[in-house]
């Protein structure tokens, strides 16, 4: 998989994509401000509408939670861009906005930024799995694991857990604590976010009453978490994805072939902040989300993109393991030798 950097073709391809992304690597301050302001205002309006709808029917509240969750996903993408330093030219401005948005999306900014940077540096690398990614075992690893570990892995990889209980617990519970590897900045980020969340929740409970707050916040967060984890999952766990051992790992190849171009309907593309153009994002995390569509349409990127649609992405639900011999993702029923463990 590793590209021969000395060949003329390799040099040409490298020059192509580097020249392309250089035209999109700079944020537009007013576009960023407009996107941030409009997303927050719309979110506040729908959040309030959810609260008011409780007087009519909780089913109406639940229906409104879907577009409101979509706006929370959009806000998370802005938070994500701030972590990459791509939303404003000023790193200080990115960090200030990122920290504030981290409270809304239940995620400590600096800790998440560190973990996500690791994800970008190790995506598709079989020898550097384990931080900022979805737990993925190879066929051989799974086959040699004890029964308890195979059972645990099956539970973890089930859609019910990944996009239900697991995603919800990630944002509600797991993000509330540090790890033993956390830096001082990460610790301040985690517990500072927790304190700010507690203050925000207390204030909203006083305004709305406790019962009403949870009837609004919990379904909203559940749907947003499920959608966010699904987006992250399907952009690296799909038919045609590329993984390799560290010695063969190549940045450009893994960005273009190890990340999908998730072609979504326009309305979903808007709610998800264009993050479906994930191959372009992995080539250059410095590209702000609103410039990703134009960048990914460039020939140097479009001709090598792994395109998946909303329909075809559903097949990713059945992919569980990386088959090194076959060079593809497979389900539990397609293990080497045809044995279903």
pLDDT tens by residue, 310-341: 999 999 999 999 999 889 999 987 664 554 44
Q: Where are the domains of the chain?
A: 8-338
| pLDDT score recorded for residue 13 | 54
Give the largest CA-CA distance in the chain: 68
Contact criterion met (CB below 8 Å) for 271 and 73: yes
pLDDT tens by residue, 125-161: 999 988 888 999 999 999 999 999 999 999 999 999 9
Contact criterion met (CB below 8 Å) for 280 and 206: no
User: Residue 180's pLDDT band (boundaries 50, 70, 90)?
Assistant: low
- The DSSP string of 125-169 is BGGG-SSSS---EEHHHHHHS-HHHHHHHHHHHSHHIIIIIHHHH
Taking the C-alpha atoms of residue 253 and residue 243, their distance in angstroms, rounded to an integer, is 10
Residue 3 in this model has a pLDDT that exceeds 70 = no
Beta strand 137-138 with 260-263: parallel, antiparallel or unpaired?
A: unpaired
Query: Counting every residue, how long is the chain?
Result: 341
Mean pLDDT rounded to a whole number for the chain: 90
pLDDT tens by residue, 230-285: 999 999 999 999 999 998 888 888 888 889 999 999 999 999 999 999 999 999 99
* Residue 182: strand, helix, or coil: coil
What is the pLDDT averaged over residues 49-74?
A: 97
Taking the C-alpha atoms of residue 231 and residue 259, their distance in angstroms, rounded to an integer, is 11
């Amino acid at each position: 998989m590793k590209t021969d950097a000395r060949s003329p073709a390799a040099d040409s391809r490298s020059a192509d994509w580097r020249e392309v992304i250089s035209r999109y690597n700079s944020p537009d301050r007013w576009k960023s401000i407009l996107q941030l302001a409009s997303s927050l205002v719309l979110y506040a309006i729908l959040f309030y509408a959810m609260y008011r709808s409780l007087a009519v029917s909780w089913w109406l509240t639940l229906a409104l939670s879907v577009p409101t969750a979509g706006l929370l996903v959009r806000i998370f993408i802005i938070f994500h861009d701030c972590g990459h330093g791509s939303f404003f030219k000023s790193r200080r401005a990115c960090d200030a906005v990122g920290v504030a948005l981290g409270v809304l999306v239940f995620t400590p900014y600096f800790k998440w930024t560190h973990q996500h940077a690791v994800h970008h540096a190790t995506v598709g690398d079989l020898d550097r799995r384990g931080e900022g990614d979805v737990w993925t075992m190879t066929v051989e690893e799974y086959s040699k694991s004890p029964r308890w570990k195979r059972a645990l892995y099956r539970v973890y990889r089930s859609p019910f857990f990944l996009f239900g209980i697991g995603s919800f617990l990630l944002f509600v519970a797991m993000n509330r604590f540090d790890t033993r590897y956390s830096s001082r900045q990460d610790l301040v980020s985690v517990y500072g976010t927790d304190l700010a969340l507690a203050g925000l929740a207390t204030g909203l409970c006083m305004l709305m009453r406790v019962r009403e707050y949870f009837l609004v916040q919990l379904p909203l967060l559940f749907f947003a978490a499920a959608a966010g984890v699904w987006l992250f999952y399907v952009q690296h766990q799909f038919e045609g994805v590329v993984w390799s051992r560290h010695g063969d790992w190549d940045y450009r190849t893994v960005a273009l072939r190890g990340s999908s171009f998730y072609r979504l309907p326009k309305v979903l593309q808007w709610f998800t902040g264009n993050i479906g153009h994930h191959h372009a994002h992995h080539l250059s995390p410095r590209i702000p989300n609103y410039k990703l569509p134009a960048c990914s349409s460039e020939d140097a990127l479009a001709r090598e993109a792994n395109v998946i649609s909303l329909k075809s992405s559903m097949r990713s639900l059945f992919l569980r393991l990386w088959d090194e011999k076959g060079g593809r993702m497979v389900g539990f029923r397609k293990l080497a030798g045809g044995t279903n463990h």
